[in-house]
Amino acid sequence: MPFRSQEHATHGAVMLDSHTTRFALWAPDARQVEVECENAAPQPMQRSDDGWFVLRLPCPAGTRYRYRIDGDLSVADPASRAQPDGVHGPSQVLGTEYAWQHPDWQGRPWHEAVIYEVHVGLLGGYAGVARHLPRLAALGVTAIELMPIGQFPGQRNWGYDGVLPFAPQASYGTAQQLKALIDQAHALGLMVLLDVVYNHFGPDGNYLHRYAQGFFREDRHTPWGAAIDFRRRQVRDFFIENALMWLHDYRFDGLRLDAVHAIDDPDFLHELARRVRASTAPGRQVWLTLENERNQAHLLQEGYDAQWNDDGHNALHVLLTGEQEGYYVDYREAPLNKLARCLSQGFVFQGQPDRNGEPRGEASGHLPPSAFVLFLQNHDQIGNRALGERLERLCPPQALRAATGLLLLAPMIPLLFMGDDWGCRQPFLFFTDHHDDLATAVREGRRAEFKGFKAFADPEQRARIPDPNAAQTFLDSQPQWGEDSEQWVALYRRLLYLRHQHIIPRLPGTRALGAQVLDGQGVSARWQLGDGSELRIDLNLGQQPLALDLPARERHLFESCELPPGPPCLPPLSCVVSLTPSCPTEPVHA
């Protein structure tokens, strides 16, 4: 029998049968709590010594309710499964009914992942994303990754300001539509991954400080306020139950944990992974990935499958654009050497001091390439720019084509951001939907972030940074088709065809054979694939051709530009990918 998260949940409103709901709220700082159901008198909940308030009521699915704290504060359920009227409206009891059309879907192996990150709101909600699925499957994508969808204030937000993490964002559609999106993806052979935020709550609509201060520890702070106190069992269970809900009730194929470097309790991460694995039926493939500035390689051997490799992106970004401000300071010295280290060992920072003089990272050369998610762009790397420019506006198209060849044919797990595949030139800006004083604080705080950048040193220059709360900022971020989009689609389709035909079947057992810098403007990297064949990628991001002993032409899988006649050389801003089979007589067909 499949695992059902509601049967094991301690937090929130859980239907025990078709007419009975158990309400449970951990509110250790409250004297009394009542359940306020629509069209019914408030009902007092029973308090236990450990701060729990519990009550069973005859409430069917669809019932709207709130919790009334100490007779004067009515709040949504922090573990609400549905918020049809937003974070300040009533919660809704959610039933489990959905007729899954593909209940036997077991997922896909991780080495087959080609991930496509999307913002659900910009693509038109859950139903809008579903309309893109056939195109993405035909392109060669094997997984879509949704930016966070836990209920946030207002109609538009990146999702990282969520305050009710169990409730799918209502402005994107219903829970049924979200399940239908996942069901349709599985029909097309696509995995669906979800970005989750377990390191903080958003500022608007979060009342936990009022009745459950134990969720937080004031002695430690994150960039978003007091740290979550994962030492408490009730707090750990809140987030672990959230993970289990997404994986089992909605049948997501994996989770990406946002900024775990802000989770100051490694044992929580270990427990979450253990409980996810223990709850997963034999044969089902579920994947856990991390964002982690600390480069803690040991986590990738203790329950987690991969980490987003910011090091690889940052080195490539410096090489492609020449930018060296902000966190790119760490990569301005010898960026080619840093890229070579990424390709051969995973992380750049494996204990070396960063720009602040602090040691960062752990040794990673022993990990397989599939432990690292590589990307040229993602929501952070575009949206955390003041004007949200994409690489299409920041570097020559020849350089971007070469880097795309590296991304899609290297043995790491590739991640694309929505619009990459058609050369989208619209920005992806930071947007929210806050109001009044909070809106002012967010707008001014956003602009203050860029005081240290030369282009925005003057207040008048910073005033050009779009207001996150303006509806136009959201509209300007909607990806649009361009004049050269067909050429970009053709490039991505070709590269992903090559990946599926020649790289993915050979990936299990792959190990790096090293990478070297070529004349201060290129990198050559090699890997032994699982069947003994050798993959080689030669990349020239300089302005001069590189004299190079390239593999024989018949071994080339991909050339990002036409190679000149004469002595072997790698033209400027180009990439050549070669595959030498383990059997010398085996041909390679591009």
Kindly write down the DSSP assignment for every residue of 508-540, as one continuous string. TT-EEEEEEEETTTEEEEEEE-TTS-EEEEEEE
3-state secondary structure at position 4: coil
Distances (CA, A) of 86 to 167, 360, 454, 561: 10, 40, 40, 51
390 close to 419: Cβ distance less than 8 angstroms: yes
**Cβ neighbours of residue 72 closer than 8 Å, sequence gap 6 or more:** none
What's the CA angle centered on 394, arms 388 and 398, to 5 degrees? 140
The catalytic residue positions are 258, 291
Which amino acid type is present at position 234?
Q
Question: Contacts from 357-360 at CB under 8 Å and sequence distance 24+?
Answer: 360/293, 360/294, 360/295
CB atoms within 10 A of CB 40: 13
Q: And the tokens for 582?
A: 């383990």
Helix axes 397-409, 310-321, angle to 10 degrees: 160
146 close to 194: Cβ distance less than 8 angstroms: yes
What's the CA angle centered on 254, arms 248 and 259, to 5 degrees? 120
